[in-house]
Amino acid sequence: MMLRLFLSIFISVARSLNLPACTKTVVLACFMTAILLPGMAQVMPLPSMEDIRADMKKAHTDTGRANLMLNLALSYVYRPGENKSDLDSAMLWAKQVENINRKVQNKRIEAKTFFVYSNILREGGSTTAGREYIERSLAVYRTIDAPSDMGEAWIEESSYYSGDNDEGIKKKERKLPTGFAPIRTIRQQTPPGRRIKKYR
C-alpha cells in the first residue's frame, strides 16, 4: 500500500519535471532501490503455524486447503534453525498438496507447489534439483495471472545465483524478464551528448 503511494507520487513528480526518458528510468531505479533495499529478498510474512492449522480445519474447498497446506510447508522451511525434521515435514505437506492437485488441476497451486519444493531442496542443500523446481514454477506462473506469487518465485530464483562474481551477475541479467534492462545497458544506449556529466 505504501509502495503504491510512493510510486504514484514519484510518477506525478517525474511527469511534471519533463525529464528525458532515460533519466526518469535511472531516477526510478534509484528510488525503487532505496525503498526496497531494506526488504530485499524477504518473503511475504506467513501467519503462525497454529493459525494456518486452524484455517485448514475451516477450509471448504480443496484449493483453499491446498494453499494453506503449502503455507504450512513454507512455515516449516522458514523456521529458525536447520532441522532435517522440519524439511521432512515440509516435504510431506507438499506431497499431500501434489496429490490433491492431481484432482483439482489448479495452475496456481501447481506453481506454488514447485515453489515450495524449490525452497525445501535449496534449504536441504540440493540446489540443482531446487533450481529445476523454481524454473518449473516460473514457467507455470508465466501462463497465469499471479504477479505477487511470481515475484516470490523470482526472489527464490535469485537465491540460486551468487552476486560475488561476474558470472553470477551475468546469469541474473539473462534471467531478467522483458522490460527489466540493467542500468548499465541503458547508459550504454544513451547518446554521448545526453549523458549526465560527473563533476568532482
pLDDT at residue 194, as a whole number? 47
Q: What is the DSSP letter of 192?
A: G
3-class DSSP state for residue 107? helix
Residue 138 reports pLDDT greater than 80: yes
What are the boundaries of each domain within the chain? Answer: 1-39, 49-158
pLDDT band at 196; cut points 50, 70, 90: very low
Q: What is the mean pLDDT of residues 153-178?
A: 69
User: Which grid cell sits at 26?
Assistant: 535511472
The residues, ordered by sequence, that sit 6+ positions from 120 with a Cβ below 8 Å of its Cβ are 73, 77, 87, 90, 91, 94, 130
Neighbouring C-beta atoms of residue 195, cutoff 10 Å: 10
What is the per-residue pLDDT across 78-100, written as a single tens digit (0 to 9) for each? 998 878 999 999 999 999 999 99
Percent of residues, the chain, with pLDDT higher than 70:
59
Residue 56 and residue 154: Cα distance in Å, rounded?
Answer: 27
User: Which grid cell sits at 46?
Assistant: 506467513
Residue 119 and residue 133: Cα distance in Å, rounded?
Answer: 9
Residue 11 and residue 38: Cα distance in Å, rounded?
Answer: 22
Q: 98-102, long-range: CB within 8 Å, 24+ apart, which pairs?
A: 100/62, 100/65, 100/66, 100/69, 101/66
3-class DSSP state for residue 196? coil
Give the total residue count for the chain: 200
The residues, ordered by sequence, that sit 6+ positions from 75 with a Cβ below 8 Å of its Cβ are 46, 48, 49, 52
Q: What is the mean pLDDT of residues 8-16?
A: 62
pLDDT at residue 162, as a whole number? 74
**CATH number belonging to domain 49-158:** 1.25.40
Q: Hey, what amino acid is at 155? A: I
What is the per-residue pLDDT across 22-67, written as a single tens digit (0 to 9) for each? 566 666 665 566 555 544 445 568 889 999 999 999 999 999 999 9
Q: What is the mean pLDDT of residues 162-175?
A: 59
pLDDT band at 195; cut points 50, 70, 90: very low
Backbone angles phi, psi at 7, to 5 degrees: -65, -40
pLDDT band at 197; cut points 50, 70, 90: very low
Q: What is the DSSP letter of 193?
A: G
pTM (whole model) above 0.85: no
The residues, ordered by sequence, that sit 6+ positions from 60 with a Cβ below 8 Å of its Cβ are none
